[in-house]
Amino acid sequence: MGSARRHTLSRFVALFVLLGAVAAPSLTSAQQKKRTELTEHFVYDEVRIFYVKEGTGAVSPVDVDQNGVPDQVENVAKQIWAAHRLFCDVLKFPDPFKSERYKGVNCIQVSIRDRSEMSNLNGVAYSSAQRARKIPEGKPTDRAIVMAIATQVDPIKNATPTHETFHLIQYGTTYFKNSWYLEGMARWAEHATA
């Protein structure tokens, strides 16, 4: 019986060693996928942009008007703001801020990240509202609809911010999320600010 127990114990030890060998690369992979902490922010009306100036995911440092905010950040904010105004105020699409789904939402929160932190996408809009990040200009009760834009996107040449803004409008209108419905309309919407 002692021999059988030793054999069973040896199997358990071998199993744990094997599991450790399999789990270690997974932990390393998860650690490598850690997102960059976005330390800077810029507010343009109801649009809040979070970004970094150095390291992985840093925005372009060009600041032609020398106001301390990189032009890329300002241009992403302005494109989102203009798209929201055009679609909701001028073309009368349903405003996500006034939708049943997004009750209490008062800002669009945008993360500018390296494409590698976004599954190699240019942008992504999220369908769930969340508590807004705390900033001095905000209130603790602020709620946000959220998107991310890749640092590789030049908003002067690329309408991805408009595309993602239109997705937020779609999400405020319907829970239907099939890509044949969402993407065709969002691609059409890109031409509005291009």
For residue 32, give the 3-state DSSP assignment.
Answer: helix
Q: What is the pLDDT of residue 65?
A: 96
Asked whether the predicted pLDDT for residue 61 surpasses 80, the reply is: yes
| Per-domain boundaries in the chain | 1-34, 40-193
Q: Which segments of 69-137 does DSSP mark as H helices, in order? A: 71-84
Between CA 91 and CA 190 the distance in angstroms is 14
One-letter amino acid for residue 51 of the chain:
Y
Q: What are the residues facing 41 on neighbouring strands? A: 50
Between CA 57 and CA 164 the distance in angstroms is 19
Residue 34 DSSP one-character state = P
Q: What is the pLDDT of residue 191?
A: 84
Nearest to 43 by CA among 82, 6, 69, 8: 69
Between CA 150 and CA 78 the distance in angstroms is 16
The model's pTM is 0.81
Choice between 194 and 164, residue whose per-residue pLDDT is larger: 164
Strand locations in 57-142, DSSP E? 105-113, 123-125, 130-131
**CA separation, residue 5 to residues 1, 15, 18, 119 (Å):** 6, 15, 20, 48
Q: Which of 27-41, 114-128, 154-168 has the lowest mean pLDDT?
A: 27-41
